[in-house]
Every structure is written in C-alpha cells, then in structure tokens.
Amino acid sequence: MKLPLQFSEEVRAACDAGTPVVALESTIITHGMPYPQNVETARLVEAEVRSAGAVPAIIAVMDGNIRIGLSPEELESLGQAKGVMKLSRADLAIALASKRTGATTVAATMICARLAGIDVFATGGIGGVHQGAEQDFDISADLRELSETAVSVVSAGAKAILDLPKTLEVLETLGVPVIAVGQNDFPAFWSRSSGLAAPLRLDDPAEIAASHLMRARLGLPGGQLVANPIPPGDEITRDIMMPVVASALAEAKSRGIAAKAVTPFLLQRIYELTEGRSLTANIALVLNNARLASAIATEIVRQRN
Ligand code: PSU
C-alpha cells in the first residue's frame, strides 16, 4: 500500500533540487491562534522562510492524505475550519485510514516531516509536562517524539503554562538535546528566560546543523530541541506573565478542562487576559524561529554536500 503523502509542487521541486525546506505545523493555525491572525501569521512565516532562501512546508492531514505544503486557498480554509481534529502520534494513522482532516501537533508534524525527508521544523513552543502532572499525568506526546524522530525542532522553548523544570527533566531522561541559542537560559515562550539553565548552548546555526548530522552518523534516533528566545523587543517579561498564567490555569482547573483541550484553552484565555499582547508576542517568536530554522536547514544542505 502506498504511503498517503502528497507534496505541493513547490515543496516537491525544492526536495528534488536539494533546496532547503522548513516544515511548519498546523495545530498552531487551528488551535493556537484565532482567525484571521492564524492565517496571516502562517503567510508571514512562509514569507520569512522564503526570504531566507528556503522553502516552507506547512504540514496537515486533509481528506486522508498527509499534505506537505498547502496552497493559499487550502491554508485559508484550514484557518477558518471549526472542530478540526488535533492530531498527535496516537491519532495520525486513524485520521489517515478514515480519510479525515486534521491539524498536526509538534509530534505528528515531526513524524510527517521525517517521512517527507525534511530535517528542520519551526514552531512556537513545544508541548511538555503540564502543571499538576504529578496528579493527572498530563505530559505532551511532543516530548517522546523528540526522542524518537530525527527532526530538529526550533521553538521558543516550551510554553510558560507548563511545568518547565519537569519538562526539562523529562527531556533529559529521554536523551533529547535541549540547545539554547544566544543565551544560557532555557526560554519560556513569551519571555526570554525561564530562570532555568538550558543543558546545552550553541549560538551558530552551522554548529546546530553539524550536531543534527552527527546524530544521524551516530545512529541516534531522536531529534534536537533548539530553544530560541523571543527577540528582546517582543517579549512579555516573566513578572507580567506569571500571574496571568496562574489565573488561566486556575480557571482551566475549576472548569475541568483536560487532555488535548488544555493548551488551546489556556492560550485563548491568556490572549484575552493580556488583551491580545500574548498573540503579538507569539507571532514575533514564530517568525524568529522560522528565520533560525531556515538558516539551520540551509547549513544542513551545505554540510551534507
Ligand atoms: N506553538 C504555538 N502554539 C501552539 C502550539 C505550538 O505557538 O498552539 C501547539 C503545537 O502543535 C504543540 C501543541 O504540539 O501546541 C501542544 O499541545 P499539547 O500541550 O496538548 O501537547
């Protein structure tokens, strides 16, 4: 049986020509940002990747096919669609086999990028260990995916709604390299610093590319988490964010929000509580990650040849 993998013409041509490609996820579009800013951001991110000399590939599942690269019309309709499935590792095969449409999380996007031969993926922030996980065991499948699938993921750390010390511990247990860029601290999505040191630091995209390729040579199965802090002018500092996050978390708890609904609920609530500032910061950090991912993808192509 053939793999249900469909490339857009642009991405197919880039892969054939050896042009660097950067994968982008679709859950950030359907569950992470409101319409129309979600579609506008996706377009800006695609433009950022192109202007850096790489080709963007938004990944989603549509009518039972893994799509690698969407047309502007498909992006628009995904951005407006309601009740889209949020697909992680556990859901991907079922969505494909039953010819569904769904948005891919970091975990599912990594799986699809790997199948498509794409090494680098840019997102906002990965999922991680949720606060209170010692009781409810809510740990994102993104973490295990990073230990299993050989894709370098560029993110602004992990979302500050999470338990960041536990998230770093789990990544360490799983053997995932967590590489801060340009600073020693692990970034906290909207804020440049989490107050926690990142285990590793590399400031040059060429070094990040070299370690990506070295992992393959060593036969190590997983990827790298590249933790790129939000630019200084765009950050919302931790002292401002922490009370907002605490109040959104309390509300999620009292309303009994659980499992896959937690992250989208918190992002929406924080957007309201910050009167839109969290979204402006989220857009800035995704664009910043797209730039770095393009530079890493370009270096991987150069060093491989
Ligand atoms: N980055 C963002 N916004 C998002 C996400 C990432 O700026 O909404 C999504 C990713 O798809 C990630 C998901 O996989 O949030 C984490 O969801 P969960 O905590 O349910 O695993």
Amino acid, res. 258: A
Half-sphere exposure of 14 (CA within 13 A, CB side): 25
Average pLDDT over residues 5-21: 97
Nearest-CA residue for atom 2 of ligand 1: 124
Rg (CA), the chain: 18
Q: How far is the CA of 242 from the centre of ligand 1 (A)?
A: 19
Residue 138 Cβ contacting ligand 1 at under 6 Å: no
Residue 141 is assigned to a ligand binding site: yes
pLDDT digits (tens, 9 = 90+) for 22-67: 999 999 999 999 999 999 999 999 999 999 999 999 999 999 999 9
253 is annotated as an active-site residue? no
Q: How far is the CA of 300 from the centre of ligand 1 (A)?
A: 26
Ligand 1 atom closest to the CA of 25, numbered from 1: 11
Residue 259 is assigned to a ligand binding site: no
Residue 130 Cβ contacting ligand 1 at under 6 Å: no
Residue 1 predicted with pLDDT over 90 = no
pLDDT of residue 219: 97
Return the axis-axis angle of helices 141-148 and 89-97, rounded to nearest 10°.
90
- Percentage of residues in the chain having pLDDT higher than 90: 98
Residue 86 is assigned to a ligand binding site: yes
Please choose from 25, 26, 28 the residue to mutate so as to test ligand 1's pocket, defined by most ligand atoms within 8 A of CB. 28
Q: How far is the CA of 304 from the centre of ligand 1 (A)?
A: 31
Q: Cβ distance 161 to 245 under 8 Å?
A: yes
pLDDT digits (tens, 9 = 90+) for 73-95: 999 999 999 999 999 999 999 99
pLDDT digits (tens, 9 = 90+) for 208-234: 999 999 999 999 999 999 999 999 999
The interface predicted TM-score of the complex, written ipTM, equals 0.96
- Which residue of the set 48, 145, 159, 299 is catalytic? 159
Q: 0.90 exceeded by the pTM?
A: yes
Beta bridge partners of 129: 139
pLDDT digits (tens, 9 = 90+) for 254-295: 999 988 999 999 999 999 999 999 999 999 999 999 999 999
159 is annotated as an active-site residue? yes
